[in-house]
Amino acid sequence: MSSPQRVLVTGSRGKVGRHVVAALVAAGFDVRATDIARPVYDADDSNAVPYVQADLTDAGDAFAVVRDVDAVVHTAGIPEPTKNVAHVVFATNTQSTFNVIEAMQARGIRRLINLSSDSVSGMTWAHRPFVGSFCPIDESHPDLAHDAYGMSKRVTELLCDGFVARAEKGASAVSIRPTWVLTPETYAANLRPFFDDPDLPSAVFWAYIDVRDLAELVVACVRTPTPGHEVVYAAAADNIGGRDLLASVARLHPEVELRPVSRVDASGIDSSKATRLFDWTPSRSWRDHLAPDGTPFSHPAP
C-alpha cells in the first residue's frame, strides 16, 4: 500500500483552515499545518496534526515550512478588508501567496489549492456598490474588483497562473472562490437580517456556503488531478431564505440578466464547474440550522 499523500495546510487555525485540516485527516491524508497563531506547547488536541508557527509574508518562514509535501492548501491570509488597513490586507494576501509559490517551485511541489474569493468578481466589498452583470454568477463573469481584498485575491490567481506556466514538470493549481462562509455557530446571527428584511440586498444574490462543504471541496481538489490552473466558485445549492431567486432578482435588480437555474431557490452563484471537475456537490443548507422564519433550532443538524 502506498503512503498517504502529504498535504500542508496554511492558515490552519483559521475558520476555513481548521475545517480543511479535519476533512483531510478524515479522508486519510498525512496532514501538516502552519499558521501565524502561537503554538500550544503542552499536550493538547491541537497537536494531533504536526504544527509549526510561521509568518508566510516572510520568505524565510515560507521556505522553512513549505517542504516535504506533495501538495499545499493555501488558506492563510486576511479574510476580509474591514478590520485591517487596506495596504496590510493587500500586502499580506499577495506576499504570502507569492512566498508559498516560490517555496513550492524551489522544492518541486506541484499541486496547489489556493483559497481565493468570490470578491474577485468585485461586488462584495465594492466602494461603489454594484451587483453582478447576470444571475447566477459563474466563472465567465468579469473580474471587477477595485477594493484591496478583492484585488489581492485576483493577484493570487495570477500568481497561480505564473506557477503553472513556469513549472517544468506539470505543476497544477485550483483557485476556489468561496462565497460567504458560514459555520454552524454563525448561521443564526449572520443571517438574521435577511429574515427580518426579505428585500435586504446581497451583492452576490444571497449566496453562501457551509464551511464543511467547502472543506470537502478542498479534499476533492487535492484528490482529483486537473491540469493547468482551474478557477471554480463554491456556494451552497440554495440561497439565504430560500427565496425564488430569479423572481427576487427581477424585482430588486431589473437591470440584471437572468439565466437558467436548476431549482427555484437556487444560489446566486453557480458552482456547477466545481461539480463537473471534482464530483463535488454541496449538501448543507441554512435549513439545517434555522426555521423558515430564521429562528434557530435547539438542536441543529450535524
DSSP letter for 283, please.
Answer: -
**Mean pLDDT, residues 27-36 taken together:** 97
Q: In angstroms, rounded to a whole number, what is the distance separating the alpha carbons of residues 9 and 27?
A: 14
| Of 68, 53, 65, nearest in space to 6 by CA | 68
196 CB burial (10 A radius; 0-12, 13-18, 19+): exposed
Cα-based angle 72, 117, 295 (whole degrees, multiple of 5): 115
DSSP E strands: which ranges in 48-150?
A: 51-53, 71-74, 111-115, 134-135
Q: In angstroms, rounded to a whole number, what is the distance separating the alpha carbons of residues 269 and 138?
A: 6
The predicted pLDDT at position 214 comes to 98
The predicted pLDDT at position 299 comes to 65
Indicate if the pLDDT at residue 117 is higher than 80: yes
User: Which grid coordinates belong to 59?
Assistant: 520568505
DSSP E strands: which ranges in 187-262?
A: 209-210, 229-234, 257-258
Per the model's pLDDT, the better-predicted residue between 146 and 299 turns out to be: 146
| Of 64, 60, 73, nearest in space to 30 by CA | 73
Kindly report, residue by residue over 241-290, the tens digit of the pLDDT. 999 999 999 999 999 999 999 999 999 999 999 999 999 999 999 999 99
Residue 117 near residue 178 (C-beta atoms within 8 A): yes
Mean pLDDT estimate for the chain: 95
Note the pTM of the prediction, 2 decimals. 0.96
Tell me which of 150-159, 196-205, 275-284 is least confident. Answer: 196-205
Indicate if the pLDDT at residue 40 is higher than 70: yes
Q: How confident is the model at residue 186 (pLDDT cuts 50, 70, 90)?
A: very high
Which domains are delineated in the chain? 6-185+210-237+269-288 (3.40.50.720)
DSSP E strands: which ranges in 116-273?
A: 134-135, 172-178, 181-182, 209-210, 229-234, 257-258
Strand order in the sheet with 51-53: 51-53, 30-35, 6-10, 71-74, 111-115, 172-178, 229-234
- Residue 45's contacts (CB-CB under 8 Å, 6 or more residues apart) are none
**Mean pLDDT, residues 53-61 taken together:** 98
Q: Where are the alpha helices (DSSP H) in 126-167?
A: 148-166
The predicted pLDDT at position 301 comes to 63
Kindly report, residue by residue over 216-255, the tens digit of the pLDDT. 999 999 999 999 999 999 999 999 999 999 999 999 999 9
Give the number of other CB atoms < 10 A from CB of residue 110: 20
Indicate if the pLDDT at residue 44 is higher than 80: yes
Provide the β-strand partners of residue 238: 266
Q: What is the percentage of the chain residues whose pLDDT exceeds 90?
A: 92
Indicate if the pLDDT at residue 192 is higher than 90: yes
User: Which grid coordinates belong to 23?
Assistant: 476533512
Residue 273 near residue 266 (C-beta atoms within 8 A): no
Indicate if the pLDDT at residue 215 is higher than 80: yes
User: Which grid coordinates belong to 252?
Assistant: 430588486
Indicate if the pLDDT at residue 2 is higher than 60: no
User: Which grid coordinates belong to 150?
Assistant: 478583492
Q: How confident is the model at residue 1 (pLDDT cuts 50, 70, 90)?
A: very low
30 CB burial (10 A radius; 0-12, 13-18, 19+): middle
Residue 97 near residue 122 (C-beta atoms within 8 A): no
